[in-house]
Amino acid sequence: MTAYGLYTHIASNKFRSMLLLGGLFLLVYVMVFAGALLAEVALNSNRPFEAYITLAAHDLVKAFPFATIGAAAWIVIAYFFHQNIIDAVTGGHDVTRQEQPRLYNLLENLCISRGIPMPKLKIVDSPALNAFATGLNRSQYSISVTTGLMKALNDREMEAVLGHELTHIRNGDVQLLVIAVVIAGVIGFFAELFFRIFFNSGVRYSGGGRSSSSSDGDKKGGGAFAIVLLAIALIGIAWGLSLVVRFALSRSRELLADAGSVELTKDADAMISALRKIEGRGELPGATSAVMEMCIDNPREGFADLFATHPSVDSRVKALVKYAGGRDPGPMALPGGDAETGDSAPQSGDTSPEARPEPPHGGPWGSSPQPTPSPAGSILGPWGRR
């Protein structure tokens, strides 16, 4: 199902979510069949190849209901407890308007402007510059922001980041990614389980068959060896496909979320400036690869960028310049560490976002200031300047 815009992308994500759920069960059955092959070899390593296939097929039929129940239980656990797991990994916690009035008001303004239900707001105590959205339904949706990001960005840039994450929720990206993570998680779990059980059990598939010098003995031993290779190949293919699904989801959705943020805020320059500040500074210590895939930027690129889950910041900025008319200030340094970035990001309404000091090398607003009709002391909403 091809997606041609922001709204067809939402329908496409729902369709792909159903395919992924079906793919989860299919890959689980492949894993069960591979496990049955290994189990039959462990029980008797003197059978011919065809006998192992037949016995493993019978085992799969017997295990079918149990495998289905197990996969369904995994989905239920992920549905209800994935946020608790993510919070435990990242240290995120809920905040209220009283605790974070600046952040809460910016997110609320964006939601009101489009009639979107307000997601939960979470803070992650980390100097990293990053943010991510999670949730599988309206009551679970949440947006998490690091304290480092709050200090580094001004109101316009923070509003752009919140718009980016809100777009992930609107487009159904967070649902799709959680399902993909569930698929990879269950496949990875069973793959490791099978390998540990088989190789730690002291099984010698060639033990009985190799002791005979007859051609029949060689054939039986060879059958066991071929079955082991087939089972390992099936497990590897299932595990690889589960990872491919995860890697295939991220790149296009980040570009569409950038575009959705501009649609919400009408401020392409703010999105570009936020990306330039976040660039290369988003690593969350202790976070798993699955959590980093949900973030606005994932600096973990993998081998030769082959396994990068996000497009580069340069390519995202070029798209915003080309299609949204934004201006690229180039890579932005944050000299002075947290202290200076904290000064450049006002925490209250006492200073207008446009009044922030210009960086030494010149920021995106220095050469061509934006109109500022809003009075000083107000918190700007997404439509305040338009």
Q: Which is catalytic among the residues 165, 254, 279, 293? A: 165
pLDDT grade for 267, boundaries at 50, 70 and 90: very high
**Can you give the pTM of this predicted structure?**
0.70
> CATH 3.30.2010.10 residue ranges in the chain?
90-173+251-324
**In this predicted model, what pLDDT tens digit does every residue of 242-263 receive, in sequence order?**
777 666 665 678 888 999 999 9
Closest C-alpha among 167, 171, 358, 384 to residue 267? 384
Residue type (1 letter), 78 = A
Residue 378: is its pLDDT beyond 60? Answer: no
**In this predicted model, what pLDDT tens digit does every residue of 58-101 receive, in sequence order?**
999 999 999 889 888 887 887 888 888 888 888 899 999 999 99
> How high is the mean pLDDT of the chain?
76
| CB atoms inside a 10 Å sphere around CB 95 | 17
| Annotation says 283 is catalytic | no
Pair type for strands 131-134 and 120-124: unpaired
**In this predicted model, what pLDDT tens digit does every residue of 4-51 receive, in sequence order?**
455 666 666 667 667 777 777 788 889 889 988 988 888 888 888 889
Percent of the chain with pLDDT over 90: 29
Pair type for strands 131-134 and 93-94: unpaired
Q: Give the pLDDT confidence score for residue 361 in this predicted structure.
A: 41
pLDDT grade for 339, boundaries at 50, 70 and 90: very low
pLDDT grade for 1, boundaries at 50, 70 and 90: very low
Distance CA 280, CA 61 (A): 50
**In this predicted model, what pLDDT tens digit does every residue of 220-242 receive, in sequence order?**
555 788 898 898 899 888 888 77
| CATH topology (fold) of 90-173+251-324 | Zincin-like (3.30.2010)
